[in-house]
């Protein structure tokens, strides 16, 4: 008997409502590892048992076909499932429900007969236009049965090159239901995700973009530097002592082989490697050992993204930068599944993907992508952290001037950027310099209150700012008083201009360290802690006679 979770029931109800009330094709969006198989099984059971219909489930890789068929039989044994796949050497054509590889059937719609429903798993792989395999098959299936309806299931309803997969002219026309990663983690249906602390990331600013993705050869050259591979592998090994199964995504075959060699040298353990050229028997043997927990480390190139199911994975290491939000999601999604003894999943991002695409539960896709050869379409301002077009020489949000383009050596550290929105990350920095200035809010009237702007230099081009509101009322003024009393024994100034004069004259304690909080999904970082030097000596009596000393300090 198929027992659905609440959100699976909601998804099924939304699909049925769409089929009843509209004449186009729906798509349901459910995160990786959220349990699409029970939903598939329930729809198949209804179609066969209640409506006496036939269902075709289309998938695209042999592993996904095997997983889907085995799970469907376990969840719903009362339905007679068949398989049509050249790779599996099965060509069933008479069953009520057939699970088929699109490569095997795209020219054989007439041979398979009439279907009432065609369900496309991993529907983001349907090409947007042209005579792709899916379109070829669906066109012929409609000749056999003009009333056939198509249902799409996917975790990522967008493509790199063309944006959203649903549209009036597409095979799938509208998203009828969507549930988020964060919601399912909260409710205990997906594994909690954590990221490693550390602020550096691979510098991809020198990479070019072709057809919406980084040029593959440039990516592999960037990531395959010996120093980076050695340092990254050492970090992976050091952070996975208490992990059981680590899946590594490489940027190319040569890079993957390099990673495999260094991982074995650093860890003293075997590291498997699979790519498109790996013989089937060898790949099956490695994947079987990895799923069983006999192989702790497994590197891959373009193989184990969509559809690979290994619930024991408790670490994914991304040594591959990508412009594709869908690929980023699919790589991280390999760790979503729950598993006995698995408390959380560690995500190590060496490619700046979290900063590029945002937290995995808040990925947003642009409707157009950069084509041809050119710079990456966006970059991050190091001062205000805005993500802006790559062509800007000056940040339009804060005025930061970018240095001339330079191929910099990137740091082989995993990014600290949080993998889920709302996750805070606190990082302590040594302050190298402090500047004080009067700040007027952009667009404010002439008589509007001004603030003291304090800029902390934390690196060569890394600044963090805070604003102290001496001229404001209420809570803002109270915070300013508290800020001042922690740094100076002298009366609290009433104006930002006077505060600058005193601070620049040495009248406030030097700030030695600051703690900066980054909350994933929010635009700006905030300062949440300071380590101060000694309090300066008070100014001689009488110098501040013109200032109001009546306010009560905190």
What's the domain count of the chain?
3
Rounded average pLDDT over 299-310: 84
- Tokens 């944006």, residue located: 163
Rounded average pLDDT over 111-120: 93
In this structure, are 374 and 240 located in the same domain?
yes
In this structure, are 374 and 458 located in the same domain?
no
In this structure, are 334 and 448 located in the same domain?
no
The residue count of the chain comes to: 554
What's the angle, vertex CA 166, arms to CA 165 and CA 167, rounded to 5? 120
Predicted TM-score (pTM) of this structure:
0.66
pLDDT at 482 over 60: yes
Q: Please, what is the average pLDDT of the chain?
A: 84
Which pLDDT score is estimated for 202?
A: 65
Which pLDDT score is estimated for 342?
A: 93
Q: What range defines the domain where residue 431 resides?
A: 424-532
Residue that terminates a domain, selected from 389, 412, 447: 389
In sequence order, which residues have a C-beta less than 8 Å from that of residue 70 and are 6 or more positions away?
Answer: none
Which pLDDT score is estimated for 373?
A: 41
CATH number at residue 111: 3.40.50.300
Helix/strand/coil (H/E/C) assignment for every residue in 288-303: HHHHHCCCCEEEECCC
- For every residue of 185-234, DSSP letters joined together read HHTTSS--EEE---------TT-BEETTEE-HHHHHHHHT-HHHHHHHHH
In this structure, are 198 and 58 located in the same domain?
no
The tokens for 206 are: 């020198």
Whether 204 maps to a domain, the answer reads yes
Percent of the chain with pLDDT over 90: 48
Rounded average pLDDT over 445-471: 88
Which pLDDT score is estimated for 387?
A: 47
pLDDT at 85 over 70: yes
Report phi then psi at 314, rounded to 5.
Answer: -120, 15
Which pLDDT score is estimated for 411?
A: 52
Rounded average pLDDT over 208-225: 90
Rounded average pLDDT over 139-160: 89
Which pLDDT score is estimated for 518?
A: 82
Which pLDDT score is estimated for 391?
A: 47
Rounded average pLDDT over 24-53: 91
pLDDT at 375 over 50: no
In this structure, are 12 and 126 located in the same domain?
yes
Q: 409: pLDDT confidence band, cut at 50, 70 and 90? A: very low
- Mutual angle of helices 6-21 and 36-45, in 10-degree steps: 50
- Report whether 395 contacts 381 (CB < 8 A): yes
Higher pLDDT, 195 or 153: 153
Residue that terminates a domain, selected from 365, 389, 413: 389
In this structure, are 159 and 231 located in the same domain?
no
Whether 80 maps to a domain, the answer reads yes
**For 155, which DSSP code?**
S
What's the angle, vertex CA 33, arms to CA 238 and CA 335, rounded to 5? 5
In this structure, are 168 and 209 located in the same domain?
no
Q: 324: pLDDT confidence band, cut at 50, 70 and 90? A: confident
Cα torsion 148, 154, 157, 162: sign: negative
In this structure, are 235 and 348 located in the same domain?
yes
In this structure, are 102 and 207 located in the same domain?
no
Whether 543 maps to a domain, the answer reads no
Among 29-38, 235-244, 374-383, 521-530, the least confident range: 374-383
- Mutual angle of helices 36-45 and 62-75, in 10-degree steps: 60
Residue that terminates a domain, selected from 389, 415, 441: 389
Rounded to whole angstroms, what are the CA distances from 51 to 23, 54, 143, 425?
A: 18, 9, 21, 53
Higher pLDDT, 54 or 447: 54
Whether 75 maps to a domain, the answer reads yes
Among 37-51, 167-181, 319-333, 527-541, the least confident range: 527-541
In this structure, are 172 and 285 located in the same domain?
no
Whether 234 maps to a domain, the answer reads yes
Among 173-177, 288-292, 410-414, 422-426, the least confident range: 410-414
In this structure, are 142 and 46 located in the same domain?
yes
Whether 213 maps to a domain, the answer reads yes
Distance CA 282, CA 485 (A): 68
Residue of 336, 284, 285, 348 lying closest to 312 (CA atoms): 336
Q: 129: pLDDT confidence band, cut at 50, 70 and 90? A: low
Whether 510 maps to a domain, the answer reads yes
Whether 538 maps to a domain, the answer reads no
Which pLDDT score is estimated for 198?
A: 38
Distance CA 233, CA 244 (A): 16
In this structure, are 37 and 174 located in the same domain?
yes
């Amino acid at each position: 008997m198929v027992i659905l979770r609440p959100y699976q029931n909601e998804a099924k109800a939304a699909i049925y409502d769409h089929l009843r009330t509209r004449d186009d094709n729906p798509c349901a969006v459910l995160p990786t590892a959220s349990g699409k198989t029970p939903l598939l099984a329930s729809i198949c059971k209804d179609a066969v048992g209640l409506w006496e219909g036939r269902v075709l489930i289309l998938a695209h890789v042999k592993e996904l076909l095997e997983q889907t068929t085995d799970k469907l039989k376990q969840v719903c044994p009362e339905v007679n499932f068949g398989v049509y796949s050249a790779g599996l050497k099965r060509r069933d054509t008479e069953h009520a429900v057939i699970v088929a590889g699109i490569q095997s059937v795209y020219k054989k719609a007439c041979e398979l007969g009439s279907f009432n429903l065609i369900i496309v798993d991993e529907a983001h792989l349907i090409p947007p236009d042209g005579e792709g395999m899916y379109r070829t098959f669906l066109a012929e299936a409609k000749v056999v049965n003009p009333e056939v309806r198509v249902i799409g299931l996917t975790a990522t309803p967008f493509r790199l090159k063309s944006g959203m997969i649903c549209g009036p002219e597409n095979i799938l026309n509208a998203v009828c239901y969507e549930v988020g990663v964060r919601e399912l983690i909260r409710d205990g249906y997906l594994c909690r995700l954590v990221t490693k602390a550390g602020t550096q990331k691979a510098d991809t600013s020198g990479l070019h973009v072709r057809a919406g993705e980084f040029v593959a050869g440039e990516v592999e050259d960037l990531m395959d530097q010996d120093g980076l591979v050695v340092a990254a592998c050492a970090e992976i090994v050091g952070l996975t002592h208490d992990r059981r199964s680590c899946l590594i995504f490489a940027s190319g075959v040569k890079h993957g082989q390099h990673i495999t060699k260094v991982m074995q040298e650093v860890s003293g353990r075997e590291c498997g490697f699979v790519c498109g050229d790996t013989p089937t028997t060898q790949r099956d043997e490695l994947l079987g050992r990895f799923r069983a927990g006999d192989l702790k480390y497994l590197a891959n190139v373009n193989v184990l993204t969509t559809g690979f199911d290994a619930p024991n994975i408790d670490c994914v290491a991304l040594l591959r930068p990508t412009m594709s939000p869908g690929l980023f999601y699919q790589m991280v999604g390999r760790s979503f599944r729950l598993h006995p003894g698995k408390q959380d999943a560690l995500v190590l991002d060496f490619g700046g993907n979290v900063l590029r695409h945002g937290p995995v539960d808040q990925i947003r896709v642009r409707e157009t992508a950069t084509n041809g050869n050119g710079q990456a379409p966006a970059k991050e301002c190091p001062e205000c952290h805005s993500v802006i077009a790559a062509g800007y020489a000056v940040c339009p949000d804060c005025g930061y001037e970018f240095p001339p383009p330079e191929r910099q050596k990137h740091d082989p550290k995993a990014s600290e950027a949080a993998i889920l929105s709302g996750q805070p990350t606190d990082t302590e920095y040594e302050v190298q310099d402090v500047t004080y200035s009067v700040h007027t809010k952009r667009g404010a009237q002439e008589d509007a209150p001004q603030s003291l702007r304090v800029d902390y230099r934390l690196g060569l081009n890394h600044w963090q700012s805070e604003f102290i509101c001496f001229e404001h009322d209420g809570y803002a003024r109270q915070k300013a008083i508290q800020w001042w009393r922690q740094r100076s024994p002298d009366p609290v100034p009433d104006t930002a201009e006077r505060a600058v004069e005193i601070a620049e004259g040495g009248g406030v304690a030097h700030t030695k360290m600051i703690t900066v909080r980054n909350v994933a999904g929010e635009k700006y970082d905030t300062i949440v802690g300071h380590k101060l030097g000694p309090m300066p000596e008070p100014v001689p009596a009488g110098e501040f006679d013109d200032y109001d000393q009546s306010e009560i300090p905190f």
